[in-house]
Amino acid sequence: MIAHVVLFRPHPHLAPAARESLAAAFATALREIPSIRRARVGRRVRVGRAYEAAMRADYPYAAVIEFDDAGGLAAYLDHPAHEQLAARFFSAFEEALMYDFHLEDGAAGLAALLPDAH
């Protein structure tokens, strides 16, 4: 499975209409892009642990979008609905990180940590 992981911080004075437009574009992408297998978006949770203070940057939102394979991710990224989402997203965020990961469930995923896995 491929996970498209986005951590982001919107502009501090982002207008409510811009937030609504961004959410609507994401909803359209979810509805129209068949290669999306699962998508989750949410706010950062703080639980009072030391690692929270060690973070150099605060990203209060995350989106995780899952695909069967790299082809599904490519289909998502090339889809016109994603182009609309990206246009709104890039004008809405102050800072963001975007990464794609190949993930395996449970112990199978731990193999990626081993030297021979690359």
CATH number of the domain that residue 50 is part of:
3.30.70.100
pLDDT at 117: 56
The residue ranges of the chain whose pLDDT is under 50 are: none
Domain of 18?
2-103
Task: Say how many domains are in the chain.
Answer: 1
Q: Are strands 93-102 and 61-67 parallel, antiparallel or unpaired?
A: unpaired
* 56 Cβ neighbours under 8 A, 6+ residues apart: none
pLDDT at 118: 54
User: What is the rounded CA–CA span in Å between residue 51 and residue 85?
Assistant: 32
Instruction: Please indicate, yes or no, if residue 112 is contained in any of the structural domains.
Output: no
Instruction: Please indicate, yes or no, if residue 95 is contained in any of the structural domains.
Output: yes
Q: Taking Cα atoms as reference points, which of 87, 67, 76, 94 lies closest to residue 11? A: 94
Find out whether 61 and 7 touch, Cβ atoms under 8 Å. yes
Q: Is 29 exposed, middle or buried (0-12, 13-18, 19+ CB in 10 A)?
A: buried
